[in-house]
Structure 1
Amino acid sequence: MNWSAFAITGGIAVVAATAGNLLIPKSAMAWFRGLRWPRWLVPFHAFVAVGIVYYLLIATVLYRALDRDDTSGVVWAAIVIAANEGWNAVFFGLRSTLGGFVGIVAFAAPLTALLISVREDRLSALLVAVYLAWVAYDVAWTFTLWRTKPR
């Protein structure tokens, strides 16, 4: 176990999750729940679970990149973490369905770059690919929300 990589990874994940929650006012959750959701959208508690899994997933990918001294993987993982928090701030903080849709489409680019960067680490590549599949689902529902309630 690489304890310094573990400490760095844990610190970054905790700071990102905390900052992300601070950027989202509690009233934004009421706004989100009040939107007209497509029938195929997962229930709210599933979003909470995916959020938790995301931080564990990205922390694992970041840890493995740090442990391998994979500078590219570390940089792309950090960009993905920052972009994820930026998306949260735009979609929830600004309560913008258009911003959420455009942001999630843009978020797919650094996530894809991370996948390419860690492709030789099978576990990291699998974790990123699974999250990229979720992001494809995010693109679909944010598009539907934007078309239903443009802003």
Structure 2
Amino acid sequence: MIKSWMVIGGVTFLVALGSNLITPKDVKWFKHLQRPRWLTFEALIPVIWSIVFICGAWSAYIIWEKDPGSQKTWLLMAFYLLVEIAIVAYNPGMLRLRSLKAGTMIGATGTLLGLLLLLTVWPISGWAAALLLPYVIWSPIGTYTTWEMIRLNPADQ
């Protein structure tokens, strides 16, 4: 029998693959951009996002197990999926459009959705809400970094 954590983890992994919908040309554009001097942790970003995705999936699993299969739980799973899609849309959206402004808007949308999700699941499970903290903390940092890059790269707004 397939366990709920397997389905949630599988969906998380499959959706996360969507962030790879970019071309080498897209990456080349991004690599030429100037970054803020304080951005010294760029090499850690893949690790940070891995932690965010794992924690988000674990949070969804906790919520699912509280009331498996109910209409409310399915709606919450849809909300988790929406937040993950917002997360994943950042790279292909910004890179395909070659627009830091688009990246900032996608990041800000994801930040708001993540915060709303955290506030929604908090009454159901404090642990599930706590597992969303890595995203709720990291997303504004990434969004601010992208916004700051607009100032450094005005031609690539």
Which band: TM-score by shorter chain? 0.7 to 0.9
Map of 1:110 onto structure 2? 113
Give yes or no for the alignment of 1:87 onto 2:86: no
Unmatched segments (≥5 aa) in structure 2: 68-72
Map of 2:70 onto structure 1? none
- In the TM superposition, residue 60 of structure 1 has moved relative to its aligned partner by 0.9
Map of 2:55 onto structure 1? 57
User: How many pairs does the alignment contain?
Assistant: 149
Map of 2:145 onto structure 1? 141
Larger Rg: 2
- In the TM superposition, residue 13 of structure 1 has moved relative to its aligned partner by 1.4
Unmatched segments (≥5 aa) in structure 1: none
TM-score by length of 2: 0.84
- In the TM superposition, residue 103 of structure 1 has moved relative to its aligned partner by 1.3
Name the amino acid aligned to 1:8: V
Name the amino acid aligned to 2:109: A
Q: Is contact 1:65-1:71 (8 Å) kept?
A: no
Q: Deviations over 1:52-72 (max 9, x none)?
A: 112211111121122223344
2: distance between equivalents of 1:61 and 1:26?
Answer: 34
- In the TM superposition, residue 109 of structure 1 has moved relative to its aligned partner by 1.9
Pick the aligned partner of 1:126 from 127, 130, 142: 130
1:79/1:97 Cα in 2 relative to 1: closer, same or farther (>3 Å)?
same
Q: Is contact 2:80-2:117 (8 Å) kept?
A: yes
1:117/1:148 Cα in 2 relative to 1: closer, same or farther (>3 Å)?
same
Name the amino acid aligned to 2:126: R
Q: Deviations over 1:4-54 (max 9, x none)?
A: 311211211121122221x12233333323211001114332111112112
1:42/1:54 Cα in 2 relative to 1: closer, same or farther (>3 Å)?
farther
Q: Is contact 1:118-1:125 (8 Å) kept?
A: yes
Q: Quick one: percent identity of the two aligned structures? A: 22
Map of 1:25 onto structure 2? 23
User: How big is the alpha-carbon RMSD for the aligned residues of Structure 1 and Structure 2?
Assistant: 1.9
2: distance between equivalents of 1:127 and 1:26?
Answer: 33
Name the amino acid aligned to 2:8: T
Q: Is contact 1:76-1:113 (8 Å) kept?
A: no
